[in-house]
Amino acid sequence: MNTIEILGVVTGIAAVYLLYKNNINTWPVGFINIVCFMWMFWKQKLYGDFIVQLIFLTTGIWGWANWNKSTLKIPDKLTNQKRAIWITLTILTTPFTTYYLKKYTDCSYPIAEATILTVSIFAQCLTALRKIENWYWWLIADLIMIIVYAKKELYITSIYAVLIFGIGILGILSWKKLLAKSK
């Protein structure tokens, strides 16, 4: 256990809680979490997770800008057709990510990390678009993270993944209520 891991976990829980509350401050708090996790994942040779954090920085800026728009105050749902496209893209992208991590890194768990990487990227994009489906992608990533972090003896971060999984379930329920109120 170290200070960077603790700070990353605390700010990560805070960011997910703010997301659950549909609060725009999820983005700046999340940036602190991202920087902490970048450092920690690089040190642990969890390169898939490190790459996710780099992408989170970029999509976080985009998400923050999108959430600042007055037309995006309430979460929305994807149409069935768009949901099918997002699912298909996620499934088709994962083997390419796995190949890259296996071939070009000494990644600890390439298949698991590739899945976390791919699912998290799509989840972050759905979050930036304020789509309720983001929570389902996050839950998949969180479940895999719980296992990978425990295997790497990042126990605090594994517990963090358990906590954000729980908040994710609450997030689905909360966002569904917000969506129902808006209609």
Residue 77 identity (one-letter amino acid): K
Model confidence at 84: pLDDT above 70: yes
Would you mind telling me the total number of residues written for the chain in this entry? 183
- What is the rounded distance in angstroms from the CA atom of residue 32 to the CA atom of residue 88? 32
Model confidence at 9: pLDDT above 80: yes
Confidence at residue 106, expressed as pLDDT on a 0 to 100 scale: 84
Confidence at residue 120, expressed as pLDDT on a 0 to 100 scale: 92
pTM attached to this predicted model = 0.88
Mean pLDDT of 130-143: 96
Mean pLDDT of 64-70: 85
Confidence at residue 45, expressed as pLDDT on a 0 to 100 scale: 82
3-state SS track over the chain: CCHHHHHHHHHHHHHHHHHHCCCCCHHHHHHHHHHHHHHHHHHCCCHHHHHHHHHHHHHHHHHHHHHHCHHHCCCECCCHHHHHHHHHHHHHHHHHHHHHHHHHCCCCCHHHHHHHHHHHHHHHHHHHCCECCHHHHHHHHHHHHHHHHHHCCCHHHHHHHHHHHHHHHHHHHHHHHHHHHHC
Confidence at residue 70, expressed as pLDDT on a 0 to 100 scale: 63
